[in-house]
Amino acid sequence: MEFFTIINIGGTIAFAVSGTLAGIRKQLDIFGLSVIAFVTSIGGGTIRDVLIGHFPVRWLLDSSVILLIIGIAVLTILFKNHIEKLDKTLTLFDSLGLGFFTLRGIQEGLAIDLDLMACIILGTITACFGGVIRDTFLNEIPTLFKKEIYATACIIGGLLYFLLRKIGLPTELVETLTVMSIVGIRLFAVKKNISLPKIK
Amino acid sequence: MEFFTIINIGGTIAFAVSGTLAGIRKQLDIFGLSVIAFVTSIGGGTIRDVLIGHFPVRWLLDSSVILLIIGIAVLTILFKNHIEKLDKTLTLFDSLGLGFFTLRGIQEGLAIDLDLMACIILGTITACFGGVIRDTFLNEIPTLFKKEIYATACIIGGLLYFLLRKIGLPTELVETLTVMSIVGIRLFAVKKNISLPKIK
Amino acid sequence: MEFFTIINIGGTIAFAVSGTLAGIRKQLDIFGLSVIAFVTSIGGGTIRDVLIGHFPVRWLLDSSVILLIIGIAVLTILFKNHIEKLDKTLTLFDSLGLGFFTLRGIQEGLAIDLDLMACIILGTITACFGGVIRDTFLNEIPTLFKKEIYATACIIGGLLYFLLRKIGLPTELVETLTVMSIVGIRLFAVKKNISLPKIK
């Protein structure tokens, strides 16, 4: 299996686990947990597909992703006490998903000739807005808007992507460095507990 | 008028009434109540149309549905004390709407060659996600994710649809049995007060 | 610069300021404030574009709008104490934006041959639903559904548009009177503190 495919699946799994755990805290039933796992994983990509006009949105054509996410939701419910101990592994996969999904969004934007800013926004939406839908459904102000370096990592990674591309590095190197920078910034922010400033 | 058309209108009315009553409890004004009635009725179908890429979304081309829903919102406001006594009638129409809208969503999926799982998800979204938008706008965690057998009825009905189709029953019989099974499961769950289990 | 372009920019700015100020009250960080400014400004037009099927949605092709909104968010954060004193100027621009965005939505509906009711709904969505997304993200029941004459002004203005068009006034006069009527109704309602009735 291709390296990027593995990361993609890892990211999808991490997002689905995060959605399911958030739903359990809000006492959802099994159906609700599956939906939350689902929108957390594929919500960002769905919004991106809608904004650029790519229909049917991709997951409708990909039953394996649907099954994977429902399976992960069920496994998370069954083994939730054990999964919470996997904190560090989940953070790693979540960061990898963040990097990969950002890259994916940028590439989708480039494929229809959007400019730098639109591409970086699409990358950030792909990576982060599944979590925004999750929090909105769970009746909370999206964490993304309140704390942590999360979208910021996507934006910096996106800027780096266009910089490295401009100076003429080969595509694969540009992509790898982009994903690595996003993962690195995110893991560093988690480790050091860094957030963006709030406005008083 | 065709049998299915009558059910469709009955479902639309029941959903509009449920939206209006929920909005009254949250002290919305007349405009807000009309919007909530509207999104509860046509929200699920709108999300489905967007996901599969059917534009303009259908209700924009159908003024009679728009007028019907606004009319129902006004009538519900005027006669709300009487309408609450119609509890059982509303539950019946709501269940019929659930069945019919699920069938409609499945058919839309089949029309663009989606597979079983995508079709059942589209059916469930068509039938249930108007209520999800309603609850999100009213600042509550969607009931759909927390209790009652509601989406579950749509999913079971959807599976039955594909099973009956596979064994070669005539289309009309398949459709009728699908709607009946969803209505039956839903009414049984309401009567017995059955919910999906929660995760502690 | 064309008169309507100036109003359009004024409306975008007023909406972005209103979003940023609402976000500051909810203690969002800088990224969150930019997103809220953004969805308040372009959310209504985005929903309209999606409903009618215009892709990619317009702001993805218009970097100047993206930059303008982010710039306004930053300026609002830096000068927020001064901006709150600009209350009356903001209300004026907000009302102008309301009028212009409604007109824009109606025109988009006419361009694909939608009927009167669908066009007025699209105008109202274009003008008002950025604020609905803002409030939903900020975990509140949308103000639009609860108080004030806001959408009502758009609906009356929309009806006037079709009336004046029917009696054969020249297009520019119809458009100007429509925008003026919406601005007038809105400013009058703010001044007199008029709301729609609530249902008890």
* Amino acid letter, A83: I
The reply to whether residue C56 touches residue A114, judged by beta carbons under 8 angstroms, is yes
Which pLDDT does position B76 carry in this prediction? Answer: 93
- Cβ contact (<8 Å) for A139 and B144? no
pLDDT greater than 70 at residue C1 = no
Q: Which DSSP string corresponds to A33-81?
A: HHHHHHHHHHHHHHHHHHHHT-SS-GGGG-HHHHHHHHHHHHHHHHTHH
Q: What CA–CA distance (Å, rounded) separates A175 from A99?
A: 10
> Residue holding tokens 């919007």?
B35
Q: Do C118 and B60 touch (CB under 8 A)?
A: yes
- Does residue C193 belong to the interface with chain A, where contact is any CB pair within 8 Å? no
What tens digit of pLDDT does each residue of B43-64 get?
999 999 999 999 999 999 998 9
Nearest 10 degrees: Cα torsion A95, A96, A100, A106: 30
Structure tokens at C136: 């939903």
Query: Rounded to whole angstroms, how far apart are CA atoms C12 and C29?
Result: 21
> By the CB < 8 Å criterion, does B35 face chain C?
yes
8-state DSSP, B53 = T
Q: Identify the three-state secondary structure at position A183.
A: helix
* pLDDT classification of C148: cutoffs 50, 70, 90: confident
Partners of residue B146 in chain A, C-beta under 8 Å: 27-29, 32
Is residue B1's pLDDT more than 70? no
CA–CA gap between residue A153 and residue A164 (Å, rounded): 16
| Domain spans of chain B, in order of start | 3-192
> C197 contacts in B (CB within 8 Å)?
29-30
C180 CA to centre of own chain: 14
Nearest-by-Cβ selection for B115 from A33, A63, A139: A63
Query: Can you tell me whether residue B56 is helix, strand or coil?
Result: coil
Closest CA to B23 of B7, B10, B34: B34
- Our separate counts of H helices and E strands in chain C read 8, 0
Which token pair is C1?
């610069």
Q: Within a 10 A sphere around the Cβ of A169, how many other Cβ atoms?
A: 14
Kindly report, residue by residue over A15-54, the tens digit of the pLDDT: 999 899 999 999 999 999 999 999 999 999 999 999 999 9
pLDDT digits (tens, 9 = 90+) for C95-105: 998 999 999 99
Q: Residue A198: which of C29, C35, C56 has the nearest Cβ?
A: C29
Q: Shortest CA distance to C126 belongs to which of C99, C146, C159? A: C99
* Distance linking the first and last C-alpha atoms of chain C: 49
Give dist(CA A24, CA A81) in Å, integer.
Answer: 12
Is cis: bond before B56, omega within 30 of 0?
yes
Closest by alpha carbon to A176, among A10, A11, A4, A14?
Answer: A4
Mutation target vs C (from B55, B62, B69, B141; most C CBs, 10 A cutoff): B55
Q: Indicate the pLDDT class of residue C113, thresholds 50, 70 and 90.
A: very high
**Residue C31 in contact with residue A196, Cβ under 8 Å?**
yes
B28 at A interface, C-beta within 8 A:
no
Q: Which two tokens stand for residue B3?
A: 């049998």
Q: Is the ipTM of this complex over 0.90?
A: yes
- pLDDT tens digits, residue range A98-125? 999 999 999 999 999 999 999 999 999 9
Q: Are A103 and A175 in contact (CB under 8 A)?
A: yes
Question: What one-character-per-residue DSSP string does A104-133 give?
Answer: HHHHHHHHTT--HHHHHHHHHHHHHHHHHH
CA distance B134 to chain A (A): 11
How many A/B residue pairs have CB atoms within 8 Å? 77
Please name the amino acid found at residue C1.
Answer: M
**CB contact residues (below 8 A), chain B span 134-163, against chain A:** 136, 139-142, 144-147, 151-152
For residue A194, the number of C-alpha atoms closer than 13 Å in the C-beta half-sphere is 12
